[in-house]
A and B are shown apart, each in its own frame.
Chain A
């Protein structure tokens, strides 16, 4: 919080200070991540804007997924992983010892690379999150949450007649949208997506991208992708990672036409990766 205001005051006129606050939902300061002895992320500093899509690109092993998983502390599940520095959401340090990662993850939802619906019914998949967080007082409220989450995920018309059939019986693209509905149902503020379309065909990919486009009004979305075209299509801001460093972070339009950093230029042109 203090860090952030210091920076905004030093770099911007005082009149835009409030606007700058609003410009940043997630702010990372000097983030270092180690897997055992391996230094996986070095000095990452980034401001992620609310109600927009930020794409992380970069070659495999560059640390973009690692950084994504830092934002909802999924890295806690890896015993050898150590995170240093400061990551704040709305100015609150998420690595503060007082923070319960379970509460954090209700606020920061996640969609994974491979669609991973629970081996339960479609309804149960979406209802699980609201249920464990006590978001519904009764069955009809739960029904409403499930329906609206499925509608937001653009899946409602396809599954409304078979809510009790298994979620794992859907096609890959439908499963991934079900996973998005599952994340949305908990009413998170941030949704992290780790290569959500890498296991999908182009048509399912298009649907998921369309969906991301629609829900960005309500959420802060961070998406890791290997597809430059996808980053260009869905995101407003793009961050390029390379060898554990955040190379460049810029407006997507600028990033893909006139990047500041030579490495970004090379990667986008396909010279390495």
Chain B
């Protein structure tokens, strides 16, 4: 009986042709095809989202790398700027930025007259509103730095006001200007005439990278200088603290620590810490570093410490994975020739794990660079116009950070700040891409050592 059944089955198999797929094979292939389709759809969706994001940021933000300037020859009138006439820096400093406004007005009206431009319907004061409120301040800074120039005529490229700048970037139109308290169609027409005369031009905006933040009424002057420096300081602190700490902790846990309840607990908690919301680290930083340890608010040192705490779990997890991936035969080989455990780790295991460790570290750093929430809690959202000093003292000076600057600018009323915020996001993304690039290059270099 059983023999005949088996014989029948054997016959079936023999008569089946492999040229025509059977129903089962067809179902199997169809399932695979469907799965592949889902995969492709998922990837396509991801790519679409990424392209959409990049396009929106680039279209909003690229214009922030351009800025409109008005070129003026300004006569630095000693009668107004140095009333005592002795070029004493103290007395020059007594003249406030309000004292510089008439000097600029005069230079503008002279320039308009010299080019033969007809101004209709604008007082000279209204015409001078084409120039940023930041201009008198920068003029004053120049004069205080160069008192000997008083009495001379100096060429300046003064910032045009945010509305004029927006006019050339398509943000402000004649219609919107008619409804705008801060500008008027007449001013825009005057700007066009100045542009024809070659006094007004749009150029690459280096100030965006070097200037500090500016107040709500001067979006044209706002820059990322303090934020970039603050972020750089924090990254330095994070790197210097978290790399050695993280690598040392991982080596100990992975290679030396005994396997028991306690190390299991440590392990679980490191994994948990990696998943703790970053704002919790901010509260911790506020409580421990500022309230308890008495470190200053808004300082890169506090930000750096908080971000170090946040980055450590990432680095430890990546480093342990990299150490685990080193084949045990290498450890055996080193121990076999009489190397101590530490020698086997530092001479052989660590160099092999280096690409993984570096990748993990840079990913952790990139995460820290983009982190906003904990920095808000330790006061880095403050309006900072003063550049922090040189390290190490500068670590304790108030500073801003790139992602916080983005957050800050999106809160401001003037639409010019939206453009700035998008521009700052582009800068942040470029830094992130650069860091990932460095990670890839380092990994290649270490892996190429056979």
**Which residues on A are within 8 Å of B, measured CB to CB?**
72, 74, 77, 79, 102-107, 109-112, 114, 116-119, 128-129, 132-133, 166, 168-169, 179, 182-183, 185-186
Contact = CB atoms under 8 A, between A and B. Distances in A.
Interface residues of B, number: 21
Contact of B339 (A116, A132, A166): A132
A183 B336 contact: yes
19 contacts: A72-B336, A74-B336, A102-B339, A106-B337, A110-B336, A112-B333, A112-B336, A116-B327, A116-B333, A118-B330, A119-B450, A128-B334, A128-B337, A128-B347, A132-B347, A166-B450, A179-B333, A183-B337, A186-B338
Contacts of B336: 72, 74, 105, 109-112, 183
B339 to A, nearest CB: 6
Contact of A129 (B329, B338, B450): B338
A74 B450 contact: no
Closest 9 pairs between A and B when the two form their complex, measured CB to CB: A106-B338, A129-B337, A116-B329, A110-B336, A105-B338, A166-B450, A116-B333, A102-B340, A186-B337
Given A119-B352, A168-B450, A105 B335 contact: yes
B87 interface: no
Nearest to A169: B450
Contacts of A106: 337-338
A132 B343 contact: yes
Interface in B399-450: 449-450
B343 A79 contact: no
A73 to B, nearest CB: 9
Contacts of B450: 119, 166, 168-169
B332 interface: yes
B106 interface: no
B2 interface: no
B348 interface: yes
Contacts of A117: 333
Interface of B: 258-259, 327, 329-340, 343, 347-348, 352, 449-450
A163 B336 CA distance: 22
A116 B332 contact: yes
A257 B420 CA distance: 91
A104 B258 CA distance: 23
Given A117-B333, A182-B333, 15 more contacts: A74-B332, A74-B335, A102-B339, A104-B338, A105-B335, A106-B338, A109-B338, A118-B334, A118-B348, A128-B347, A129-B338, A129-B339, A166-B450, A169-B450, A183-B336
B259 A79 contact: yes
Given A77-B335, A102-B338, A105-B338, A112 B259 contact: no
Contact of B333 (A79, A104, A118, A166): A118
Nearest to A102: B340
A99 to B, nearest CB: 13
Contacts of B340: 102
Contacts of B259: 79
Contacts of B338: 102-107, 109, 129, 132-133, 186
Given A79-B258, A132-B343, A116 B330 contact: yes
B332 to A, nearest CB: 6
Contacts of A109: 336-338
Contacts of A79: 258-259
Contacts of B258: 79
Contacts of A183: 336-337
B307 to A, nearest CB: 34
A107 B165 CA distance: 80
Nearest to A79: B259
A117 B450 CA distance: 12
- The secondary structure that dominates the B interface is helix
Nearest to B260: A79
Given A79-B258, A119-B449, A128-B347, A105 B333 contact: no
Interface centre among A77, A169, A179 (most CB of B within 10 A): A77
Nearest to A129: B337
Contacts of B334: 118, 128
A112 to B, nearest CB: 6
A185 B339 CA distance: 13
Contacts of B339: 102, 128-129, 132
A118 B330 CA distance: 6
A179 B329 CA distance: 12
A112 B329 contact: yes
A111 B337 CA distance: 9
Contacts of A168: 450
A206 B332 CA distance: 25
Given A102-B339, A129-B338, A133-B338, A112 B332 contact: yes
Nearest to A116: B329
A177 B259 CA distance: 36
A169 B333 CA distance: 17
A198 B50 CA distance: 52
A110 to B, nearest CB: 4
Contacts of B347: 128, 132
Nearest to B449: A119
Contacts of A110: 332, 336
A45 B339 CA distance: 29
Contacts of B449: 119
A72 B338 CA distance: 10
A77 B332 CA distance: 9
A72 B332 CA distance: 12
A101 to B, nearest CB: 8
B221 to A, nearest CB: 56
Contacts of A182: 333, 337
A260 B201 CA distance: 105
A92 to B, nearest CB: 16
Contacts of A186: 337-338
B352 A114 contact: no
A192 to B, nearest CB: 8
Nearest to A179: B333
Contact of B337 (A77, A105, A114, A166): A105
A116 B307 CA distance: 41
A118 B449 CA distance: 12
B63 to A, nearest CB: 51
